[in-house]
Amino acid sequence: MTNEKVIEKCKNLLLDLPNITKVEHLESKVSNITTAWSHKAWSPEQIARDIGANFYDGCIEAKLPIDNVKITTDHDQVVVHSPNTKFSLKKLFFLGSSKTGEQGYVGKHGEGFKLSIVSLARISVFDPINISGSDALIITIGNEDLETKLRPLVFNYFKINEQNGTFFIVNTISDELKDAFKKTMLNFFHLKNELVGELLHEHNEIECYKSNTEHGYGFYCGLKRIEIKNIPIIINIKKPYAALEKLTAQDRDRANFGTKLQSTFYNIFCRGGFGYNFNGNDAIYHIISSSKLTWKKGAPLLASISNHSYTRLKKDPRIKKLFGKEYISESKFRYTGAITWSDWYSTKTQGYVLKRDKQLKDKKIMLPSYFASFGVESSLDAFIRNKENTEKRIKNKKTADLSTKENKAIDFLFKASKKINPSFANLFNRDDEDNNLYEVKFRKIFCKELLGELKNNNEYNSKTVYLHKDLFKASFGKIFSTFLHELSHSHGSGDGEREFSDMLTVLLQNSIEKNSIISKYSKEWSRYRV
């Protein structure tokens, strides 16, 4: 098609529009953008979103509400219209953008519009019309270059009679494209967005709303970037964050955030949006209470809330009530602060957890471990609770100093241990010697839950061993093995620790090899037995 025919065709397209009565051709410029630009064409949703982004930014620049943008798709024609706004159509010709991204604009690179036009051409939608005030632009496809076989975009500029605002118009029979444009303003945050419901929480330019659908959405700097499945919440992070900007710097497609970006987004939401005000917060309660469909499988948003709230939500009565006694959480060390790493890996702890989980497998619904932060008890929590209750009983005047005869029995046990392993026995101070590594004290207990327990005291390298009163009535083998077991914890507090296991193994070996000595002390034990 010759240039004259193209110009005449464009004039007729403009004159076919309502309210346009005058058209004057100004110039036509061949761009360096071709229909072969970009290896991947955008989908109708991406095309519509990018065109919508230009109008969104136009409203921000003009300080107009976003719902100022109107979109119609009647008579096989898409019309995007923003009254009372003006835009320099000359800017559309050039790559690059004056938008900084720090002013609330969605656009940053100046490439999206061109890629939208190329993508439209690839689905056989041609001659898009752009109007702003008295200026008009129609982009056509130029003739094929004989050498390169490429076809450039041609920007045809016209002067028309004044129109109210800015327009983008395309003629199309594509229902998919028309549907995409109908929904495109849902991609941008504004209070009249039909997705956005009641405001729940606002802090540090981070907002949280109820979603008007069964799903939720995450908006970043005005643009929807996350769909939050089965959690009806709207999260709006209004200002840019370096952690996200770094990851989206080259994001020309404005694609939905992947796993890594979602995690960063949720962390910013939890860390910056609440100021540690989690307990009793309506937004947090809504997120957890409305996400029941995700509980069993888990959800990144819930995990992030758990990780940033620490144990604050455990005591929130509203949240705890949500779960009742129907659920149990997986046991994991990071979600409890009441046990040491070595105790967590001890055979005692692990055995209890495995046994209890097996018992409750068919009685309760197992949830991911981070639900422990929401007050859902794990088997580890139950173990710690039982342990704390036992320790309370110990502290509740259920311990006593050893009697004279019981102290003599302990001295006898130390004497026996020196015979089988002097270097080990000499670690412990019983004779007020200065060269001992540990000062050890003994107390007797009356609760049956503990047969022996070694505790670190507040003083450096000071330890207390609790022995059940009935041990002093037991056989030598029973009390001596318990005695060695508890002292061995000086080398590792947990039963599963390698240092503890190695020490106990050495003592067992020595006891076997020096069986005659053990036999001698076993016979003498009757003199010290209480």
Is 66 a domain residue?
A: yes
Q: What is the pLDDT of residue 457?
A: 41
Which of 172, 187, 202 marks a domain boundary? 187
By mean pLDDT, which of 61-75, 106-120, 205-219, 456-470 is the weakest?
A: 456-470
The single-letter DSSP state of residue 209 is E
**Statement: residue 368 has pLDDT above 80:** yes
Q: How confident is the model at residue 387 (pLDDT cuts 50, 70, 90)?
A: confident
**Statement: residue 108 has pLDDT above 50:** no
Q: How far apart are CA 56 and CA 381, in angstroms?
A: 51
Is 324 a domain residue?
A: no
**176-217 pLDDT tens trace:** 999 999 999 999 999 999 999 999 999 999 999 999 999 999
Instruction: Give the bridge partners for 428, in sequence order.
Output: 438
CATH of the domain at 437: 3.30.2010.10
Arithmetic mean of pLDDT over the chain: 86
Is 357 a domain residue?
A: no
Q: What angle do CA 396, 397, 400 make, to 5 degrees?
A: 140
Is 217 a domain residue?
A: no
pTM assigned to the model: 0.72
Highest mean pLDDT among 89-93, 214-218, 433-437 belongs to 214-218
Which of 167, 187, 207 marks a domain boundary? 187
CATH of the domain at 150: 3.30.565
Q: How confident is the model at residue 453 (pLDDT cuts 50, 70, 90)?
A: very low
In total, how many domains does the chain have? 2
Is 171 a domain residue?
A: yes
How many other C-beta atoms are found inside a 10 Å radius of the C-beta of residue 320?
15
The answer to whether the CB of 42 falls within 8 A of the CB of 19 is no
By mean pLDDT, which of 39-43, 61-65, 328-332 is the weakest?
A: 39-43
Domain that holds residue 409: 399-527
- Mean of pLDDT values over 343-357: 89
Is 287 a domain residue?
A: no
Which of 156, 187, 218 marks a domain boundary? 187
**459-504 pLDDT tens trace:** 434 577 888 888 899 999 899 888 888 887 765 555 556 677 777 7
Is 242 a domain residue?
A: no
- Ordered alpha helix ranges (H), 347-443: 347-360, 379-395, 404-420, 422-425
Is 299 a domain residue?
A: no
The single-letter DSSP state of residue 404 is H
Q: What angle do CA 300, 304, 306 make, to 5 degrees?
A: 115
Greater model confidence, 140 or 446: 140
Q: How far apart are CA 196 and CA 208, in angstroms?
A: 10
**391-420 pLDDT tens trace:** 676 666 567 889 999 999 999 998 988 888
Q: How confident is the model at residue 512 (pLDDT cuts 50, 70, 90)?
A: confident
The single-letter DSSP state of residue 188 is B
Greater model confidence, 67 or 287: 287
